[in-house]
Amino acid sequence: MSGSINWGYWLVALLVGPAALWLSRLPSPPAQKVSQDGAVGQVNHKLVALIVLFFFLYVGAEVGFGGWIYTFALDSKVADETNAAYLTSAFWGALTVGRLLAIPIAARVRPRYILLGDLVGCLVSVGLILIWPHSLVAVWAGTLGIGLAMASIFPTTISLAERRMTVTGQVTGWFFVGASAGAMFWPWIIGQLFESTGPRIMPLALFIDLVLALVILIILISYSTRSIIKAEGQ
């Protein structure tokens, strides 16, 4: 490879281009009917708060991993500077590929099941790095697994929200507030602990983060389902 990064942009363009052309030919989806997975005709503020918290945890994990995997690999002595950079690229590349793969899956599987599977995949992948932090194979497998598993979480959560309640511009704004706060907080807290605790704090912090995200998701699904059943019974 030369020192140029142009090949990386061309690769992303080749991967995204066919999907963009395919999506442009699809008709607009019909309006969804209210059902167990249908939208409730009003803003549910408790549900909004749960989704904001979920975005805070998920986006924090994504940005935290992407921002610290390079330093983790160097300080754990599992990679030199070149291979650590490849790890970072592999994570973002897996995230891109995963979003392409998620398109046909989203057409066949309900959002709640996709999200549960994604978070379990994230936990397994981070667990590999946490258990074997000095194994290059485990770090590579975990990095690729995290990228693929995280890929569809953000858009699928938006889809779940639209099925469970009315999503206004203000509600969407709150979603991005939670996501932005997580993107600032989790990388910062990892950085504060990294020097004093050591590189292993990175996968440990992310594992705790993702466990909390899974708990919030289960509460979110349970609460929103009860809200829809209650609304349909009135």
How many domains would you assign to the chain?
A: 1
- Is residue 217 assigned to a domain? yes
Segment 153-179 shows an average pLDDT of: 90
137, 116 in Cβ contact below 8 A?
Answer: no
39, 165 in Cβ contact below 8 A?
Answer: yes
- Is residue 9 assigned to a domain? no
Tally Cβ neighbours within 10 Å of residue 70.
19
- Is residue 73 assigned to a domain? yes
- Is residue 8 assigned to a domain? no
142, 125 in Cβ contact below 8 A?
Answer: yes
Per-residue confidence band for 1, with pLDDT thresholds at 50, 70 and 90: very low
DSSP state letter for 93: H
As a whole number of angstroms, the distance between CA 54 and CA 62 comes to: 12
**Percentage of the chain surpassing pLDDT 90?**
63
Residues 6 or more apart from 185 whose CB is under 8 A from it? Answer: 56, 60
pLDDT in tens, 51-105: 999 999 999 999 999 999 999 999 999 999 999 999 999 999 999 999 999 989 9
Per-residue model confidence (pLDDT) at position 25: 66
Note down the domain range covering 163.
49-233
Half-sphere exposure (CA, 13 Å, Cβ side) for 172?
8
- Of residues 38 and 59, more confidently modeled: 59
**Position 206, amino acid:** L
As a whole number of angstroms, the distance between CA 180 and CA 161 comes to: 18
As a whole number of angstroms, the distance between CA 198 and CA 227 comes to: 44
CATH number at residue 83: 1.20.1250.20
- Is residue 222 assigned to a domain? yes
Region of 77 (left: φ > 0; alpha: ψ -120 to 50; beta: rest) is left
Residues 6 or more apart from 142 whose CB is under 8 A from it? Answer: 125, 126, 127, 128, 129, 203
- Is residue 202 assigned to a domain? yes
Which pair of tokens denotes residue 149? 């598993």
- Is residue 13 assigned to a domain? no
Per-residue model confidence (pLDDT) at position 156: 94
Q: What is the mean pLDDT of the chain?
A: 85
Segment 209-221 shows an average pLDDT of: 96
- Is residue 23 assigned to a domain? no
